[in-house]
Amino acid sequence: MLRPRPGHDRTRRRPSAGRFRATGRPACGRDRRGPVGLAAAAHLAERGIDFLVLEAGEQVAASVAHWGHVRVFSPWQYDIDSAARRLLQADGWSAPDPEWLPTGAELVSDYLAPLAELFGDRVRTNARVSAISRLGYDRVRTAGREEAPFLIRLADGGELQAGAIIDASGTYTSPNVLGASGLPAHGEDTAAGVVDHALPDVLGADRDRYEGRRVLVVGAGHSAATTLLALAQLDATPITWAIRAGHATRTYGGGDADALPARGALGSRLHALVESGRIQLLTGFFTHRVRTTGDGVELISRAPSGAEQSITVDRIVSATGYRPDRSLASELRLDLDPILGSARRPAPVIDPNQHSCGTVPAHGVDELTHPEPGYYAIGVKSYGRAPTFLMATGYEQARSVVAALAGDWEAARDVQLDLPETGVCSPAWPRRRSSGPDWPAASAAACCPPRSQAWAPRRRTTAAAAADPLRVRALPLERSVRDVRRISHRGPARGPSSHL
Protein backbone atom coordinates (compact mmCIF):
# COMPACT_ATOMS: atom_id res chain seq x y z
CA MET A 1 0.00 0.00 0.00
CA LEU A 2 1.07 3.55 -0.59
CA ARG A 3 1.26 5.52 2.57
CA PRO A 4 -1.20 8.44 2.65
CA ARG A 5 -0.23 11.40 4.74
CA PRO A 6 -1.32 11.23 8.39
CA GLY A 7 -4.86 12.45 8.89
CA HIS A 8 -5.61 12.14 5.18
CA ASP A 9 -9.31 11.69 4.36
CA ARG A 10 -9.56 9.34 1.38
CA THR A 11 -13.21 10.27 0.79
CA ARG A 12 -12.50 13.94 0.34
CA ARG A 13 -12.65 14.63 -3.36
CA ARG A 14 -11.73 18.30 -3.44
CA PRO A 15 -9.45 20.24 -1.12
CA SER A 16 -10.57 23.47 0.40
CA ALA A 17 -9.08 26.71 -0.83
CA GLY A 18 -5.83 27.61 0.79
CA ARG A 19 -2.64 25.67 1.38
CA PHE A 20 -1.84 21.97 1.38
CA ARG A 21 0.65 20.29 3.65
CA ALA A 22 2.33 16.93 3.08
CA THR A 23 4.07 14.72 5.60
CA GLY A 24 5.53 11.23 5.39
CA ARG A 25 6.21 9.49 2.08
CA PRO A 26 4.19 11.06 -0.76
CA ALA A 27 1.91 8.74 -2.73
CA CYS A 28 3.05 10.51 -5.88
CA GLY A 29 6.27 12.34 -6.66
CA ARG A 30 6.18 14.99 -9.39
CA ASP A 31 9.39 15.91 -11.17
CA ARG A 32 9.51 19.53 -12.42
CA ARG A 33 6.72 22.07 -12.12
CA GLY A 34 5.98 23.60 -15.48
CA PRO A 35 2.42 23.95 -16.80
CA VAL A 36 1.78 20.22 -17.23
CA GLY A 37 3.46 19.22 -13.98
CA LEU A 38 1.46 21.73 -11.97
CA ALA A 39 -1.69 20.57 -13.76
CA ALA A 40 -0.96 17.06 -12.50
CA ALA A 41 -0.50 18.48 -9.01
CA ALA A 42 -3.87 20.23 -9.25
CA HIS A 43 -5.63 16.99 -10.21
CA LEU A 44 -3.86 15.11 -7.41
CA ALA A 45 -4.96 17.77 -4.93
CA GLU A 46 -8.57 17.59 -6.11
CA ARG A 47 -8.60 13.82 -5.70
CA GLY A 48 -7.00 13.91 -2.27
CA ILE A 49 -3.81 12.08 -3.28
CA ASP A 50 -0.70 13.13 -1.42
CA PHE A 51 2.11 14.47 -3.60
CA LEU A 52 5.40 16.32 -3.69
CA VAL A 53 6.55 18.51 -6.58
CA LEU A 54 10.27 18.88 -7.32
CA GLU A 55 11.48 21.89 -9.34
CA ALA A 56 15.09 22.01 -10.47
CA GLY A 57 15.13 25.80 -10.84
CA GLU A 58 15.12 28.61 -8.34
CA GLN A 59 11.54 29.66 -9.10
CA VAL A 60 8.25 28.24 -10.22
CA ALA A 61 8.30 27.11 -13.87
CA ALA A 62 11.94 28.05 -14.29
CA SER A 63 12.12 26.84 -17.90
CA VAL A 64 9.10 28.93 -18.88
CA ALA A 65 10.67 31.94 -17.20
CA HIS A 66 13.73 31.57 -19.44
CA TRP A 67 11.58 32.36 -22.46
CA GLY A 68 9.37 34.82 -20.60
CA HIS A 69 9.78 37.44 -23.34
CA VAL A 70 8.09 35.20 -25.93
CA ARG A 71 4.36 35.53 -26.61
CA VAL A 72 2.77 32.13 -27.19
CA PHE A 73 0.36 31.57 -30.07
CA SER A 74 -2.21 29.73 -27.90
CA PRO A 75 -4.67 32.11 -26.15
CA TRP A 76 -5.42 31.69 -22.48
CA GLN A 77 -8.43 29.46 -23.23
CA TYR A 78 -6.01 26.69 -24.20
CA ASP A 79 -3.39 27.43 -21.53
CA ILE A 80 -5.20 26.77 -18.24
CA ASP A 81 -5.88 23.28 -16.93
CA SER A 82 -9.41 22.57 -15.72
CA ALA A 83 -8.50 21.37 -12.22
CA ALA A 84 -6.03 24.23 -11.79
CA ARG A 85 -8.74 26.69 -12.77
CA ARG A 86 -11.15 25.28 -10.19
CA LEU A 87 -8.60 25.42 -7.36
CA LEU A 88 -7.51 28.94 -8.25
CA GLN A 89 -11.04 30.28 -8.57
CA ALA A 90 -11.93 28.77 -5.20
CA ASP A 91 -9.06 30.84 -3.80
CA GLY A 92 -10.39 34.09 -5.30
CA TRP A 93 -8.33 34.13 -8.51
CA SER A 94 -9.74 35.80 -11.62
CA ALA A 95 -8.96 34.16 -14.94
CA PRO A 96 -7.23 36.27 -17.62
CA ASP A 97 -8.98 37.24 -20.85
CA PRO A 98 -9.46 33.90 -22.67
CA GLU A 99 -8.59 35.47 -26.04
CA TRP A 100 -5.34 37.08 -24.86
CA LEU A 101 -2.02 35.64 -26.01
CA PRO A 102 0.18 35.53 -22.91
CA THR A 103 3.94 35.76 -22.79
CA GLY A 104 5.93 33.17 -20.91
CA ALA A 105 6.34 35.69 -18.09
CA GLU A 106 2.57 36.17 -17.93
CA LEU A 107 2.02 32.41 -17.83
CA VAL A 108 4.19 32.32 -14.73
CA SER A 109 2.98 35.46 -12.94
CA ASP A 110 -0.74 35.21 -13.74
CA TYR A 111 -1.23 31.45 -13.56
CA LEU A 112 1.61 29.11 -12.57
CA ALA A 113 3.01 31.07 -9.62
CA PRO A 114 -0.43 31.55 -7.97
CA LEU A 115 -1.17 27.86 -8.54
CA ALA A 116 2.12 26.72 -7.01
CA GLU A 117 1.53 29.02 -4.05
CA LEU A 118 -1.65 27.07 -3.23
CA PHE A 119 0.41 23.94 -2.68
CA GLY A 120 2.74 25.48 -0.11
CA ASP A 121 5.59 23.18 0.96
CA ARG A 122 4.37 20.43 -1.34
CA VAL A 123 6.45 22.28 -3.93
CA ARG A 124 10.23 22.37 -3.55
CA THR A 125 12.52 24.56 -5.63
CA ASN A 126 16.25 23.98 -6.18
CA ALA A 127 15.46 20.26 -6.10
CA ARG A 128 17.12 18.87 -9.22
CA VAL A 129 16.50 15.16 -9.75
CA SER A 130 19.58 13.25 -10.90
CA ALA A 131 18.15 9.70 -11.03
CA ILE A 132 15.05 7.60 -10.40
CA SER A 133 15.06 3.91 -9.51
CA ARG A 134 13.36 1.37 -7.25
CA LEU A 135 14.61 1.11 -3.68
CA GLY A 136 17.03 -1.82 -3.64
CA TYR A 137 16.39 -2.76 -7.28
CA ASP A 138 18.25 -2.09 -10.49
CA ARG A 139 16.53 -2.50 -13.86
CA VAL A 140 17.38 -6.21 -14.12
CA ARG A 141 16.05 -7.50 -10.82
CA THR A 142 12.38 -8.60 -10.94
CA ALA A 143 11.30 -10.61 -7.89
CA GLY A 144 9.41 -8.33 -5.51
CA ARG A 145 10.01 -5.29 -7.70
CA GLU A 146 6.43 -4.00 -7.58
CA GLU A 147 6.56 -3.97 -3.79
CA ALA A 148 9.49 -1.55 -3.70
CA PRO A 149 8.90 2.23 -3.57
CA PHE A 150 10.50 4.50 -6.11
CA LEU A 151 13.81 6.05 -5.08
CA ILE A 152 14.43 9.64 -6.21
CA ARG A 153 18.00 10.84 -5.91
CA LEU A 154 18.63 14.59 -5.90
CA ALA A 155 21.65 16.40 -7.24
CA ASP A 156 22.53 17.62 -3.74
CA GLY A 157 22.83 14.03 -2.51
CA GLY A 158 19.44 13.82 -0.86
CA GLU A 159 17.04 10.95 -1.51
CA LEU A 160 13.26 10.65 -1.43
CA GLN A 161 10.79 7.79 -1.80
CA ALA A 162 7.40 7.74 -3.53
CA GLY A 163 4.73 5.26 -4.52
CA ALA A 164 4.37 6.64 -8.06
CA ILE A 165 6.21 9.03 -10.36
CA ILE A 166 4.76 11.55 -12.80
CA ASP A 167 7.73 12.75 -14.82
CA ALA A 168 6.90 16.10 -16.42
CA SER A 169 10.50 17.30 -16.55
CA GLY A 170 10.21 18.40 -20.15
CA THR A 171 13.01 18.78 -22.68
CA TYR A 172 13.97 22.47 -22.48
CA THR A 173 17.27 21.81 -20.72
CA SER A 174 18.38 19.17 -23.25
CA PRO A 175 18.46 20.86 -26.68
CA ASN A 176 19.47 19.06 -29.83
CA VAL A 177 22.95 19.62 -31.21
CA LEU A 178 23.81 21.89 -34.13
CA GLY A 179 25.17 19.03 -36.22
CA ALA A 180 22.77 17.79 -38.89
CA SER A 181 23.19 14.05 -38.29
CA GLY A 182 22.19 14.03 -34.64
CA LEU A 183 25.85 14.26 -33.62
CA PRO A 184 27.64 17.46 -32.62
CA ALA A 185 29.21 19.18 -35.60
CA HIS A 186 33.02 19.05 -35.68
CA GLY A 187 34.22 21.99 -33.61
CA GLU A 188 30.77 22.71 -32.16
CA ASP A 189 32.02 22.58 -28.58
CA THR A 190 34.86 25.02 -29.23
CA ALA A 191 32.42 27.54 -30.73
CA ALA A 192 30.04 27.41 -27.77
CA GLY A 193 30.77 31.03 -26.88
CA VAL A 194 29.05 32.30 -30.03
CA VAL A 195 26.21 29.75 -30.18
CA ASP A 196 22.94 30.43 -28.35
CA HIS A 197 20.09 27.96 -28.00
CA ALA A 198 16.53 28.68 -29.02
CA LEU A 199 14.58 31.80 -28.10
CA PRO A 200 17.18 34.33 -26.93
CA ASP A 201 15.73 37.69 -25.85
CA VAL A 202 16.75 39.43 -29.07
CA LEU A 203 14.83 42.65 -28.45
CA GLY A 204 15.55 42.81 -24.73
CA ALA A 205 18.30 41.50 -22.49
CA ASP A 206 20.29 39.92 -25.34
CA ARG A 207 19.97 42.74 -27.86
CA ASP A 208 23.63 43.76 -27.72
CA ARG A 209 24.70 40.27 -28.77
CA TYR A 210 22.90 40.56 -32.09
CA GLU A 211 22.33 44.12 -33.20
CA GLY A 212 24.71 45.15 -35.95
CA ARG A 213 26.14 41.63 -36.29
CA ARG A 214 25.77 38.87 -38.84
CA VAL A 215 23.44 36.28 -37.37
CA LEU A 216 22.65 32.75 -38.51
CA VAL A 217 19.55 30.92 -37.26
CA VAL A 218 19.55 27.14 -37.74
CA GLY A 219 16.26 25.26 -37.50
CA ALA A 220 12.83 25.05 -39.08
CA GLY A 221 10.39 25.17 -36.15
CA HIS A 222 8.37 27.85 -34.42
CA SER A 223 11.29 28.77 -32.16
CA ALA A 224 13.43 29.54 -35.19
CA ALA A 225 10.61 31.55 -36.77
CA THR A 226 10.08 33.57 -33.59
CA THR A 227 13.78 34.44 -33.35
CA LEU A 228 13.97 35.38 -37.04
CA LEU A 229 11.04 37.77 -36.73
CA ALA A 230 12.66 39.45 -33.73
CA LEU A 231 16.03 39.77 -35.48
CA ALA A 232 14.34 41.42 -38.45
CA GLN A 233 13.42 44.34 -36.19
CA LEU A 234 17.08 45.17 -35.51
CA ASP A 235 18.88 47.72 -37.65
CA ALA A 236 21.98 46.83 -39.66
CA THR A 237 21.71 43.16 -38.72
CA PRO A 238 22.18 40.75 -41.64
CA ILE A 239 20.14 37.58 -41.07
CA THR A 240 20.62 34.14 -42.59
CA TRP A 241 18.29 31.22 -42.00
CA ALA A 242 19.59 27.67 -42.61
CA ILE A 243 17.38 24.57 -42.86
CA ARG A 244 18.02 21.00 -43.95
CA ALA A 245 14.87 20.76 -46.10
CA GLY A 246 14.74 21.84 -49.71
CA HIS A 247 12.04 24.43 -48.97
CA ALA A 248 10.44 26.18 -45.98
CA THR A 249 6.79 25.44 -46.74
CA ARG A 250 6.24 23.55 -43.53
CA THR A 251 7.63 26.39 -41.41
CA TYR A 252 5.47 28.93 -43.19
CA GLY A 253 2.44 26.95 -42.04
CA GLY A 254 -1.21 27.29 -42.96
CA GLY A 255 -1.56 31.06 -42.85
CA ASP A 256 -5.24 32.06 -42.70
CA ALA A 257 -6.26 28.37 -42.53
CA ASP A 258 -4.61 27.97 -39.11
CA ALA A 259 -7.14 27.80 -36.27
CA LEU A 260 -4.65 29.76 -34.13
CA PRO A 261 -4.32 33.10 -35.97
CA ALA A 262 -1.06 34.00 -34.21
CA ARG A 263 0.53 30.75 -35.32
CA GLY A 264 -0.60 31.27 -38.90
CA ALA A 265 0.62 34.88 -38.89
CA LEU A 266 4.03 33.76 -37.64
CA GLY A 267 4.68 31.79 -40.80
CA SER A 268 3.12 34.38 -43.09
CA ARG A 269 5.31 37.18 -41.74
CA LEU A 270 8.40 35.03 -42.02
CA HIS A 271 7.57 34.13 -45.61
CA ALA A 272 7.20 37.81 -46.48
CA LEU A 273 10.60 38.64 -44.97
CA VAL A 274 12.28 35.89 -46.97
CA GLU A 275 10.57 36.98 -50.16
CA SER A 276 11.64 40.60 -49.60
CA GLY A 277 15.26 39.58 -49.07
CA ARG A 278 15.40 40.82 -45.47
CA ILE A 279 16.20 37.23 -44.46
CA GLN A 280 18.46 35.07 -46.61
CA LEU A 281 17.27 31.45 -46.73
CA LEU A 282 19.78 28.62 -47.16
CA THR A 283 18.11 25.29 -47.96
CA GLY A 284 19.72 21.88 -47.93
CA PHE A 285 22.11 23.03 -45.18
CA PHE A 286 23.56 20.11 -43.18
CA THR A 287 25.90 21.54 -40.53
CA HIS A 288 29.06 19.42 -40.56
CA ARG A 289 31.81 21.63 -39.16
CA VAL A 290 32.08 24.83 -37.13
CA ARG A 291 35.34 26.73 -36.92
CA THR A 292 36.45 30.11 -35.71
CA THR A 293 38.26 32.37 -38.21
CA GLY A 294 39.65 35.88 -38.14
CA ASP A 295 36.42 37.07 -39.75
CA GLY A 296 33.99 35.34 -37.38
CA VAL A 297 32.71 31.79 -37.17
CA GLU A 298 32.36 29.64 -40.28
CA LEU A 299 29.73 26.91 -40.65
CA ILE A 300 30.36 24.29 -43.31
CA SER A 301 27.47 22.22 -44.63
CA ARG A 302 28.06 18.79 -46.12
CA ALA A 303 24.97 17.23 -47.70
CA PRO A 304 24.52 13.46 -47.91
CA SER A 305 25.51 13.79 -51.57
CA GLY A 306 28.84 15.26 -50.50
CA ALA A 307 28.05 18.77 -51.78
CA GLU A 308 29.36 21.50 -49.50
CA GLN A 309 28.43 25.10 -48.81
CA SER A 310 29.58 27.49 -46.11
CA ILE A 311 28.72 30.78 -44.44
CA THR A 312 30.63 33.04 -42.05
CA VAL A 313 28.73 34.93 -39.35
CA ASP A 314 29.27 36.55 -35.97
CA ARG A 315 26.63 34.70 -33.91
CA ILE A 316 24.57 31.55 -34.26
CA VAL A 317 21.16 30.67 -32.83
CA SER A 318 20.71 26.89 -32.74
CA ALA A 319 16.95 26.30 -32.83
CA THR A 320 17.21 22.63 -33.75
CA GLY A 321 14.70 21.29 -31.25
CA TYR A 322 15.01 19.25 -28.08
CA ARG A 323 15.31 15.67 -26.93
CA PRO A 324 14.25 14.11 -23.61
CA ASP A 325 16.88 13.24 -21.03
CA ARG A 326 16.14 9.57 -20.41
CA SER A 327 19.21 9.11 -18.22
CA LEU A 328 17.10 10.08 -15.20
CA ALA A 329 15.09 6.87 -15.55
CA SER A 330 17.75 4.58 -16.97
CA GLU A 331 17.18 2.07 -14.15
CA LEU A 332 13.44 1.86 -14.84
CA ARG A 333 11.76 -0.39 -17.38
CA LEU A 334 10.46 1.82 -20.18
CA ASP A 335 8.84 0.97 -23.50
CA LEU A 336 10.00 3.68 -25.92
CA ASP A 337 9.52 4.27 -29.60
CA PRO A 338 12.84 3.57 -31.36
CA ILE A 339 12.49 6.60 -33.63
CA LEU A 340 11.19 9.40 -31.41
CA GLY A 341 12.11 8.16 -27.94
CA SER A 342 8.50 8.88 -26.99
CA ALA A 343 6.05 6.51 -25.40
CA ARG A 344 5.69 3.79 -28.01
CA ARG A 345 1.97 3.69 -28.63
CA PRO A 346 1.23 7.36 -29.52
CA ALA A 347 4.32 7.55 -31.76
CA PRO A 348 2.66 6.86 -35.15
CA VAL A 349 0.44 9.95 -34.93
CA ILE A 350 3.00 12.40 -33.53
CA ASP A 351 5.89 11.38 -35.79
CA PRO A 352 6.96 14.54 -37.69
CA ASN A 353 8.05 12.33 -40.60
CA GLN A 354 4.41 11.46 -41.14
CA HIS A 355 2.27 13.95 -39.27
CA SER A 356 2.15 17.71 -39.59
CA CYS A 357 -1.19 18.90 -38.22
CA GLY A 358 -2.72 19.79 -34.88
CA THR A 359 -5.33 17.03 -34.90
CA VAL A 360 -3.69 14.53 -32.54
CA PRO A 361 -5.85 11.70 -31.18
CA ALA A 362 -6.54 12.05 -27.50
CA HIS A 363 -4.40 9.76 -25.41
CA GLY A 364 -4.07 9.06 -21.73
CA VAL A 365 -2.94 6.52 -19.19
CA ASP A 366 -3.24 3.46 -21.44
CA GLU A 367 -0.93 4.97 -24.03
CA LEU A 368 1.50 6.37 -21.44
CA THR A 369 1.86 3.20 -19.36
CA HIS A 370 5.28 1.55 -19.24
CA PRO A 371 6.38 -1.88 -18.02
CA GLU A 372 7.45 -0.05 -14.84
CA PRO A 373 4.15 0.18 -12.91
CA GLY A 374 3.57 3.62 -11.44
CA TYR A 375 5.95 5.59 -13.69
CA TYR A 376 4.41 7.99 -16.21
CA ALA A 377 6.19 10.53 -18.39
CA ILE A 378 3.75 13.23 -19.46
CA GLY A 379 3.93 16.57 -21.21
CA VAL A 380 6.44 17.33 -23.92
CA LYS A 381 8.74 14.60 -22.58
CA SER A 382 6.15 12.00 -23.57
CA TYR A 383 6.57 13.16 -27.19
CA GLY A 384 10.29 12.42 -27.26
CA ARG A 385 11.81 14.39 -30.14
CA ALA A 386 8.48 15.14 -31.81
CA PRO A 387 7.91 18.92 -31.94
CA THR A 388 4.11 18.76 -32.26
CA PHE A 389 3.16 19.15 -28.58
CA LEU A 390 0.61 21.65 -27.21
CA MET A 391 -0.14 22.35 -23.55
CA ALA A 392 -3.73 21.15 -23.91
CA THR A 393 -2.39 17.71 -24.84
CA GLY A 394 -0.36 17.56 -21.63
CA TYR A 395 -3.28 18.70 -19.51
CA GLU A 396 -5.41 15.82 -20.77
CA GLN A 397 -2.54 13.41 -20.14
CA ALA A 398 -2.24 14.68 -16.56
CA ARG A 399 -5.98 14.37 -15.94
CA SER A 400 -6.08 10.79 -17.26
CA VAL A 401 -3.01 9.58 -15.37
CA VAL A 402 -4.16 11.06 -12.06
CA ALA A 403 -7.63 9.55 -12.50
CA ALA A 404 -5.93 6.16 -12.90
CA LEU A 405 -3.84 6.76 -9.78
CA ALA A 406 -7.11 7.43 -7.95
CA GLY A 407 -8.58 4.17 -9.26
CA ASP A 408 -11.17 6.01 -11.39
CA TRP A 409 -10.60 4.03 -14.58
CA GLU A 410 -13.77 5.21 -16.26
CA ALA A 411 -12.54 8.81 -16.09
CA ALA A 412 -8.98 7.78 -16.90
CA ARG A 413 -10.05 6.19 -20.18
CA ASP A 414 -12.55 8.85 -21.16
CA VAL A 415 -9.88 10.89 -22.93
CA GLN A 416 -10.91 13.83 -25.07
CA LEU A 417 -8.89 16.45 -26.89
CA ASP A 418 -9.88 19.30 -29.18
CA LEU A 419 -6.79 20.91 -30.65
CA PRO A 420 -6.80 23.90 -33.01
CA GLU A 421 -5.78 22.70 -36.46
CA THR A 422 -2.71 24.15 -38.16
CA GLY A 423 -4.23 24.26 -41.61
CA VAL A 424 -1.23 22.29 -42.92
CA CYS A 425 -1.78 18.58 -43.48
CA SER A 426 0.62 16.39 -45.38
CA PRO A 427 -0.87 15.80 -48.85
CA ALA A 428 0.41 12.25 -48.71
CA TRP A 429 1.19 10.69 -45.35
CA PRO A 430 3.65 7.88 -46.08
CA ARG A 431 2.69 4.69 -44.30
CA ARG A 432 6.13 3.92 -42.95
CA ARG A 433 5.05 2.32 -39.73
CA SER A 434 2.12 0.37 -38.39
CA SER A 435 -0.56 2.33 -36.62
CA GLY A 436 -1.73 -0.67 -34.63
CA PRO A 437 -5.31 -1.92 -34.39
CA ASP A 438 -6.53 0.88 -32.08
CA TRP A 439 -5.05 3.82 -33.97
CA PRO A 440 -6.42 5.58 -37.06
CA ALA A 441 -5.03 4.31 -40.33
CA ALA A 442 -2.99 6.78 -42.34
CA SER A 443 -5.08 8.41 -45.02
CA ALA A 444 -3.75 8.59 -48.55
CA ALA A 445 -5.18 12.09 -48.83
CA ALA A 446 -4.42 13.80 -45.54
CA CYS A 447 -3.33 13.21 -41.96
CA CYS A 448 -6.24 15.08 -40.36
CA PRO A 449 -9.43 13.00 -40.09
CA PRO A 450 -12.79 14.79 -40.10
CA ARG A 451 -14.08 15.64 -36.65
CA SER A 452 -16.83 13.05 -37.12
CA GLN A 453 -14.13 10.40 -37.43
CA ALA A 454 -12.21 11.43 -34.31
CA TRP A 455 -10.43 8.50 -32.75
CA ALA A 456 -11.45 7.29 -29.32
CA PRO A 457 -9.53 4.74 -27.25
CA ARG A 458 -11.12 1.43 -26.40
CA ARG A 459 -10.23 -1.60 -24.36
CA ARG A 460 -8.30 -4.13 -26.37
CA THR A 461 -9.39 -7.71 -26.80
CA THR A 462 -6.99 -10.56 -26.26
CA ALA A 463 -6.73 -11.03 -30.02
CA ALA A 464 -5.93 -7.36 -30.56
CA ALA A 465 -3.27 -7.45 -27.87
CA ALA A 466 -1.68 -10.53 -29.41
CA ALA A 467 -1.53 -8.78 -32.77
CA ASP A 468 0.46 -5.94 -31.23
CA PRO A 469 2.98 -7.61 -28.85
CA LEU A 470 5.03 -4.44 -28.30
CA ARG A 471 2.14 -2.55 -26.81
CA VAL A 472 2.32 -2.32 -23.00
CA ARG A 473 -0.79 -3.75 -21.39
CA ALA A 474 -3.01 -1.37 -19.48
CA LEU A 475 -3.43 -1.84 -15.75
CA PRO A 476 -6.54 -3.89 -14.93
CA LEU A 477 -9.78 -1.91 -14.62
CA GLU A 478 -10.71 -3.43 -11.31
CA ARG A 479 -7.46 -2.49 -9.56
CA SER A 480 -6.56 0.89 -8.14
CA VAL A 481 -3.14 2.36 -8.78
CA ARG A 482 -3.06 3.27 -5.13
CA ASP A 483 -1.83 -0.32 -4.98
CA VAL A 484 0.41 0.28 -7.96
CA ARG A 485 3.41 -1.50 -6.46
CA ARG A 486 1.34 -4.70 -6.30
CA ILE A 487 0.23 -4.60 -9.91
CA SER A 488 2.40 -6.19 -12.57
CA HIS A 489 1.87 -6.07 -16.32
CA ARG A 490 1.03 -9.19 -18.25
CA GLY A 491 3.79 -10.49 -20.46
CA PRO A 492 7.56 -10.16 -20.17
CA ALA A 493 9.03 -6.91 -18.94
CA ARG A 494 10.99 -4.94 -21.48
CA GLY A 495 13.73 -2.37 -21.17
CA PRO A 496 14.28 0.68 -23.33
CA SER A 497 15.37 0.43 -26.92
CA SER A 498 19.04 -0.39 -27.03
CA HIS A 499 20.12 2.75 -28.83
CA LEU A 500 18.19 5.30 -26.78
> Which residues are CB-neighbours of 272 under 8 A, at least 6 positions away?
none
Quick one: which H or E segment has residue 345? Answer: none
Residues 429-467 pLDDT 10s = 333 444 443 433 333 233 333 333 333 333 333 333 333
Q: How far apart are CA 242 and CA 218, in angstroms?
A: 5
Count Cα neighbours of 160 within 13 Å in the Cβ-side half-sphere: 28
Q: Given this model, what pLDDT does residue 33 score?
A: 52
Domains 28-173+323-486 and 192-318 share a fold: yes
Residues 356-386 pLDDT 10s = 545 567 789 999 999 999 999 999 999 999 8
- Has residue 332 got a pLDDT over 80? yes
Which range has the worst mean pLDDT, 11-15, 34-38, 197-201, 397-401? Answer: 11-15
Which of 262, 78, 253, 52 is closest to 161 using CA atoms? 52
Q: How far apart are CA 259 and CA 335, in angstroms?
A: 34
Q: How far apart are CA 332 and CA 352, in angstroms?
A: 27
| More confidently predicted of 75 and 84 | 84
Q: Given this model, what pLDDT does residue 115 score?
A: 98
Q: Given this model, what pLDDT does residue 311 score?
A: 97
Q: Given this model, what pLDDT does residue 352 score?
A: 79
Enumerate the domain spans of the chain.
Answer: 28-173+323-486, 192-318
Q: Given this model, what pLDDT does residue 194 score?
A: 95
Q: How far apart are CA 8 and CA 2, in angstroms?
A: 12
Q: How confident is the model at residue 201 (pLDDT cuts 50, 70, 90)?
A: very high
How far CA 453 is from CA of 212, 364, 448, 480, in Å, comes to 52, 19, 10, 32
Could you say which architecture CATH assigns to the domain 28-173+323-486?
Answer: 3-Layer(bba) Sandwich (3.50)
Q: What is the mean pLDDT of residues 174-200?
A: 94
CATH code, 192-318: 3.50.50.60
Q: What percent of the chain is modeled with pLDDT above 70?
A: 76
Sheet strand arrangement including 279-282: 195-197, 315-318, 215-218, 239-242, 279-282
Quick one: which H or E segment has residue 106? Answer: helix 104-107
Which of 457, 431, 455, 456 is closest to 443 using CA atoms? 431
Q: How far apart are CA 440 and CA 135, in angstroms?
A: 40
Q: What is the mean pLDDT of residues 101-116?
A: 97
